[in-house]
């Protein structure tokens, strides 16, 4: 009940002094994601639906599914919907997967899921996956030909993202330092951050809340504005991250980085992305892995590969007329 929530907030803020701000009627989720929600509302034409029965055949000319681990059962409870089961009888709608990801190179579907999703995927007009390993998984288990395409976040340039941060005042920022964008905090990762920061004489800073850490007060979990996050990559001299998209934005912004492999969230994503750009030596899988401390990356080669892959991805979509 919102009324009960209001009085609990009142008690914590003004009597117990446990909160620095008074959030009144807002739920914890609304507080933690307030800036992200504002960004989505401003920039994304979003239609939220309770279930797929609200999607009507005549509403769309094409439906595109993708990308980040959308085909991984542990992250997609209604797996068949990710293969457009609700649209299987629709005749005029194009079905496309763009950079859809299994998140792993091992097969996690049971026999029923495999059979159902194979039938549905054969109805698609085009199938593309994000990881190279996804090509083999589609071939082996679905008997469907797939091609590899860039993660959609890589289709935009550094300047595109800086325009999205148009409300951020860069002039007041202290440039430089080591940005650490860590999703799952551990002592080992903190040690790696410190070692690299010391080796490069850089001051560590972060631009994300401790959103995933349920043991800390929810005010520490508030995710800062997206503009702050983008600004972090813009001003960093070096990046340490255990996030796939932390690696992506390091590449987009041409920042030297160390990637800490995130086994629980899917390692094949890191291998596929970094090997594509010849950057696999930036990956730390365990404490015994050699860590590159230096900032030497041939960005001319990386950017040339990125330009070619962007062109391939654009041609893939243009050919489908979406």
pLDDT at 242: 93
> Where a domain ends, among 131, 149, 167?
149
Within a domain: 95: yes
pLDDT at 175: 65
pLDDT at 171: 58
Strand order in the sheet with 94-100: 62-65, 94-100, 126-129, 147-148
> Are residues 175 and 301 part of one domain?
yes
pLDDT at 16: 45
Within a domain: 279: yes
> Where a domain ends, among 149, 184, 211?
149
pLDDT at 7: 43
Mean pLDDT, consecutive 10-residue stretches, the chain (322 aa), reads 45 49 64 88 86 86 91 92 94 94 94 98 97 97 97 96 77 75 90 91 88 68 88 93 96 96 82 95 76 81 98 93 70
For the four alpha carbons of 185, 190, 196 and 200, in that order, the dihedral sign comes to positive
Within a domain: 77: yes
pLDDT at 10: 44
pLDDT at 237: 94
> Are residues 211 and 180 part of one domain?
yes
The range of the structural domain enclosing residue 72 comes to: 52-149
> Are residues 294 and 257 part of one domain?
yes
pTM over 0.95: no
pLDDT at 251: 98
């Amino acid at each position: 009940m919102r009324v009960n929530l209001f009085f609990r907030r009142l008690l914590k803020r003004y009597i117990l002094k446990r909160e620095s701000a008074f959030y009144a009627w807002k739920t914890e989720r609304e507080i933690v994601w307030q800036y992200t929600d504002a960004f989505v509302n401003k920039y994304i034409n979003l239609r939220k639906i309770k279930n797929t029965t609200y999607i009507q055949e005549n509403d769309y000319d094409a439906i595109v599914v993708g990308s980040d681990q959308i085909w991984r059962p542990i992250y997609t409870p209604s797996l068949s919907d990710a293969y457009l089961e609700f649209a299987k009888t629709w005749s005029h709608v194009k079905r496309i997967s763009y950079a859809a990801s299994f998140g792993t190179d091992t097969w996690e579907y049971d026999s029923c899921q495999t059979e159902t999703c194979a039938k549905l995927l054969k109805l698609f007009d085009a199938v593309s996956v994000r990881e190279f390993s996804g090509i083999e998984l589609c071939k082996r288990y679905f008997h469907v030909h797939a091609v590899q395409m860039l993660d959609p976040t890589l289709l935009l340039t550094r300047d595109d993202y800086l325009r999205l941060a148009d409300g951020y005042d860069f002039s007041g920022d202290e440039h430089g330092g080591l940005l650490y964008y860590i999703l799952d905090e551990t002592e080992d990762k903190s040690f790696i951050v410190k070692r690299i920061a010391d080796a490069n004489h850089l001051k560590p800073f972060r631009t994300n809340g401790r959103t995933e850490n349920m043991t800390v007060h929810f005010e520490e979990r508030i995710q800062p504005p997206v503009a702050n996050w983008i600004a972090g990559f813009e001003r960093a001299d070096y990046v340490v991250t255990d996030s796939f998209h932390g690696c992506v934005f390091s590449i987009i912004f041409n920042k030297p980085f160390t990637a800490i492999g995130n086994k629980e969230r899917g390692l094949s994503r890191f291998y596929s992305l970094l090997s594509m750009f010849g950057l696999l030596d930036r990956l730390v899988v365990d404490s015994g892995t050699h860590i590159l401390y230096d900032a030497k990356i041939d960005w001319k080669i990386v950017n040339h590969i990125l330009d070619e892959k962007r062109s391939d991805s654009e041609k893939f979509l243009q050919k489908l007329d979406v």
